[in-house]
Amino acid sequence: MASSEKKSRRRSAKAPAEPPPFDPQPVEPPSIAVAELSAGAAADEMPSIPVPDPEDELAAFASDGELSALFVSDGLEHLGTIEAAILKFEAAPADLSLLNDIFRPFHTVKGNAGVLGISSVQEVAHRVEALLDLARSGARPFGPREIELVLQSVDLLTLMIKQLPARVAGEPTVNVADRVRALGLALDTLMAEPLQAVAAAMAAQAYEQASARQEPAPEAADPFQRTEESQSTVRVDTRKLDSLVDMVGELVIAQTILAEDPVLLRSIDERLSRRLSQVRRITSELQRSAMSMRMVAIRQTFQKMARLVRDQSKRTGKPIALVLAGEDTELDRKLVEHITDPLMHMVRNAVDHGVEPAAVRLAAGKPTEATLRLSASHQAGTIVIEIGDDGGGLDTDAILAKAQAQGLAADDAVLSPAEIHQFIFQPGFSTAQQVTELSGRGVGMDVVRRNIEALRGRIDIQTTPGQGTTFSIRLPLTLAIVDGILLSVGTERFVIPTFAVRESLQPRSDQVHTVQGRGCMVQVRDQLIPVLHVGEAFGIRGARERPTDGTVVVAEDNGRPVALVVDELLGKQEVVIKGLGETFEGVRGVAGGAILGDGRIGLILDVGGLLSLAA
Amino acid sequence: MEAAAARPLAELAGKYLTFALGDEEYGLPVLKVREIIKLMDITQVPQVPSHIRGVINLRGKVIPVIDLRLKFGFEVGENTERTCIIVVEVDMNGSNVMMGIVVDSVWEVLNVSAAEIDETPAFGDQVSTDFVLGLAKVKGTVKILLDLDRVLGGDGRFSKGLL
């Protein structure tokens, strides 16, 4: 009772309207919370985790925006670390040191929540921590039920922490009281288990561990090793970072303008030009490091998939091994944000539709455990993310039948398998026989494709009947520096990424062929390449009309070539890709804008989009 | 009827930046205005309606530029010394987006009181008044007060609907 009186006194002291200065001392020392907990549990049968009191635990959180934002981002990161460590422990239960990796972040979350007085979060974390502490010291086994409970508590805490800002703002939130209560009860039940059962379980686990110890996992392959190294980082508001990048971009432009100043160009003072080139070197180095700050490894996204695969595998009863590759591949932070949902959807699909039930796999002579591969890599200026399963592959006949039934394809249409597979990207298309809990709710691959195309990316399918399906997502390195070739068309200038350019030429008239007086082709060595007149396609006045008058740039996208007719090549330049914003989202053939040497914007050509214009 | 209209009109009182399009005078809430810059080279973007002139570089940011003269169907004459771009912040589905609007000339910042504001009369089908907040009669001239979010909001994502 004493403690609750103390608590209410604190509350009334904090009642005045002006925000209380942030108190670095814990609002409620953990020891009091513990005493409260055990006393409450002993006194009556009430669940031992108090249900969050909606109002008074948010006072400190609401009073310091910066600190509370830090708490949320920090907390979510810790929960991510915990999740990764649990999954790792599940795969290697012999490694008890992993329990420390689970315990420590829980402790930090609890401590931080205590500092801010968010008692609901603090107490959930505390209860789980108690369980972990027992397991860590070897007093309790840590088996599948414990793992399940800890994962549940991670989900619950993630939700609670995520909706803290909404609660402060008075926005509607999910009521977690029931879930908190349920988790408390489950923990109580588990902790109250007779020691005999615990001992038996421990013996079983010890045996398991002993047998597992014989094949220790190689240290080098540890996918979560880097969590230890992440201490030497600083959190920076992304807006500050964006403005730094913008300003550095301006600096580069100012430097270029200065370097090209006629007065300086005429100067023969060697000392001056040496100093200028020194400035140039520093500027471009500065630009490079500013850009790299926006890049993050895809690791965290992949970790989310690991949890998803585990849960799906349990729920469907299909044993699945997830193989990750290229988790260190860096991509723009914004891309990571936008790629997570489509990826989760595709992983769910792969488990639900891609992988066959174990019995079917056995009958087909495949190992019962399916393999799901998730990989990321850089390829020629794009980021490639692949999701591959070794399941049954796409059922081409079923897709065609469904497409015909839905009127997407004519009944007598003759289509190649690749064309038929494209139907899965149609809205409302699903070949799943029944709607399951996991997928098949009608939100389908069409949404995935739309999301990816909104990032100016592309998705491709490779599938082999009986052997599996791989989806490849290709994303541009938006906001990254791209090596480009500057070219002019009429009054406008464009940048084409160097990686998309095969060659450029000034065609002789005998190389240019027209088909039926309209479709124009250029013959380059033995290949006939369709011509796209950029000026015409973009409605630019004053562009040179005939391919023989201008320059032809042979560009390619995904192996398909196109000959772009432009006026002149102006030179090579490294440019910063900037999105054009929502206004121009649907524009095809343009990947973004680049700020050119004179401060004007040149549009960056997107060869894939140009090809679709030419078709 | 007077009473019903009084409240929203009273809320419209405040400071407006006035500018000219052709022979007409317009005003937009000064809080929406970020800065006024002289007309610069605009990079045109394909596949968009002609009143979307293209993009400019505003100190490292790429922002779209809308020609209000074309949007409202004015004849666009020669650009003069006074032609300029007003950089505004528009609310687009909850997020603030910077845009430039080309106008013939910028006049002044005007304090408009509630008494000076009239409701927009209906002009029938000939004239769309959706994005007019009201009409202000100040110093003997009528100024058309624009609801900028409505004027430009549509240009934020028109292209999504097209493709």
Asked if residue A539 and residue A409 are part of one domain, the reply reads no
Asked if residue A109 and residue A84 are part of one domain, the reply reads yes
Mean pLDDT for the stretch of residues B25-42: 92
**pLDDT at res. B43:** 92
For residue A261, is it within any domain?
A: yes
Average pLDDT, chain A: 77
Place of tokens 């309606």: B49
Strand (E) positions, A226-381?
Answer: 295-297, 320-325, 330-332, 370-379
The count of domains in chain A is: 4
Pairing of strands A458-464, A320-325: unpaired
The full DSSP string for B64-130 is: EEEEHHHHTT-------TT-EEEEEEEEETTEEEEEEEEESEEEEEEEE-GGGEEPPPP-GGGS--T
Chain A: residue nearest B43 by CA? A601
* CA–CA distance, B62 with B56 (Å, rounded to integer): 6
Task: Calculate the CA A329 to chain-centre distance.
Answer: 11
**pLDDT at res. A485:** 93
**pLDDT at res. A406:** 76
Report CB contact under 8 Å: B157, A585.
yes
Picking from B41, B92, B156, the nearest residue to A600 by CB comes out as B41
- Phi/psi at A563 (nearest 5 deg)? -100, 115
**pLDDT at res. A604:** 92
Domain boundary among A452, A476, A500: A476
**pLDDT at res. A481:** 64
Asked if residue A610 and residue A525 are part of one domain, the reply reads yes
Residue ranges of domains in chain B: 2-155
For residue A50, is it within any domain?
A: yes
CATH number at residue A164: 1.20.120.160
Specify the length of chain B in residues: 163
Picking from B43, B62, B162, the nearest residue to A581 by CB comes out as B62
Place of tokens 């214009």: A613
Q: Write the ipTM.
A: 0.81
Q: How far is B105 from chain A (nearest CA, A)?
A: 23
For residue A229, is it within any domain?
A: no
Report CB contact under 8 Å: B159, A593.
no
Asked if residue A71 and residue A27 are part of one domain, the reply reads yes
pLDDT tens, position by position, A181-229? 888 888 888 777 765 555 565 555 555 555 544 444 444 444 444 444 4
The helix (H) or strand (E) run that includes residue A284 is helix A270-292
From chain B, the residues in CB contact with A580 under 8 A are 45, 55, 62, 64
CA angle A30, A31, A33 (to 5 degrees): 65
Domain boundary among A476, A508, A529: A476
Which residues in B have their CB inside 8 Å of a CB on A?
41, 43-48, 52, 55-57, 59-64, 92, 97, 99, 155-160, 162-163
Chain A: residue nearest B52 by CA? A583
**pLDDT at res. A22:** 44
Mutate to test the interface with A, among B62, B97, B155, B157 (most CBs of A within 10 A): B62
* CA–CA distance, A576 with A478 (Å, rounded to integer): 9
Q: How far is A278 from chain B (nearest CA, A)?
A: 23
From chain A, the residues in CB contact with B94 under 8 A are none
Asked if residue A453 and residue A312 are part of one domain, the reply reads yes
Tokens of A11: 């509350």
Asked if residue A488 and residue A467 are part of one domain, the reply reads no
For residue A223, is it within any domain?
A: no
For residue A225, is it within any domain?
A: no
Q: Are A101 and A85 spatial neighbours (Cβ–Cβ below 8 Å)?
A: yes
Domain boundary among A267, A294, A321: A294
Asked if residue A97 and residue A60 are part of one domain, the reply reads yes
Asked if residue A465 and residue A333 are part of one domain, the reply reads yes
Tokens of A121: 């979060």
From chain A, the residues in CB contact with B92 under 8 A are 582
Report CB contact under 8 Å: A590, B46.
yes
Report CB contact under 8 Å: B57, A585.
no
Asked if residue A589 and residue A447 are part of one domain, the reply reads no
B26 pLDDT higher than 50:
yes
The full DSSP string for A139-158 is: SS---HHHHHHHHHHHHHHH
Report CB contact under 8 Å: B46, A600.
no
CATH number at residue A244: 1.10.287
- Phi/psi at A419 (nearest 5 deg)? -65, -40
Asked if residue A277 and residue A304 are part of one domain, the reply reads no
Q: Could you please state the CATH topology (level 3) that the domain comprising B2-155 is classified under.
A: OB fold (Dihydrolipoamide Acetyltransferase, E2P) (2.40.50)
Asked if residue A287 and residue A300 are part of one domain, the reply reads no
For residue A457, is it within any domain?
A: yes
For residue A273, is it within any domain?
A: yes
B115 pLDDT higher than 70:
yes
Domain encompassing residue A274: 238-294
CA atoms within 13 A on the CB side of A543: 25
Residues of chain A with pLDDT under 50: 1-47, 212-229, 433-442
* CA–CA distance, B112 with B118 (Å, rounded to integer): 11
For residue A465, is it within any domain?
A: yes
Asked if residue A572 and residue A467 are part of one domain, the reply reads no
